[in-house]
Amino acid sequence: MTARVRFADVAVGTELPPASFPLARVDLVRYAGASGDFNVIHWNERVATSVGLPNVIAHGMLTMAEAIRVVTDWVGDPGAVVEYAVRFTRPVVVPDDDRGALLEVGAKVTELLDDNCVKVVITASSQGQTVLGKAQAIVRLA
């Protein structure tokens, strides 16, 4: 698969379509099984609060994976992502209710690079608070 978005059609300031990703406790259990990360702070509220967390929290790598989906959905090819880095600034708290948590993600092209690559800065928040800082990807376009 190759990138659908053409380098010639993108400019600095191009905003990618934003997306919202719901996260429920069952998603954390599924991710734990797939990743092998069974840390109790991701499924046991008693333990999570006993170590100072507000509640059970989503896995950082799950949050990171959901956030890059805005970029991969836009470009059409996950293999077009050349680099991806974030700083975890705040955990995504996932309450045990019918709603869970909502991860809100947006992104914007901030730089045109050589070799048909662009730099994309990603914003990710939950409950109105930033959860990923310095989130950016380098993406090779068609």
For the stretch 67-84, pLDDT in tens is 999 999 999 999 999 999
Closest CA to 73 of 27, 9, 137, 135: 137
The whole model's pTM is what? 0.93
Q: What is the pLDDT of residue 18?
A: 98
Q: Cα–Cα distance between 105 and 100 in angstroms, integer? A: 16
Based on the number of CB atoms within 10 Å of its own CB, is 14 exposed (0-12), middle (13-18) or buried (19 or more)?
A: middle
Query: What's the CATH code, domain 7-23+58-140?
Result: 3.10.129.10
Q: Cα–Cα distance between 42 and 60 in angstroms, integer? A: 10
The residue-averaged pLDDT of 36-53 equals 97
DSSP assignment of 54-112 equals SS-B--HHHHHHHHHHHHHHHHS-GGGEEEEEEEE-S--B--SSSS-EEEEEEEEEEEE
Compute the chain's Rg from CA coordinates.
16
Q: Report whether pLDDT(2) > 90.
A: no
> What phi and psi, each to the nearest 5 degrees, are found at residue 53?
-85, 155
Q: What is the pLDDT of residue 31?
A: 98
pLDDT above 70: percentage of residues in the chain: 98
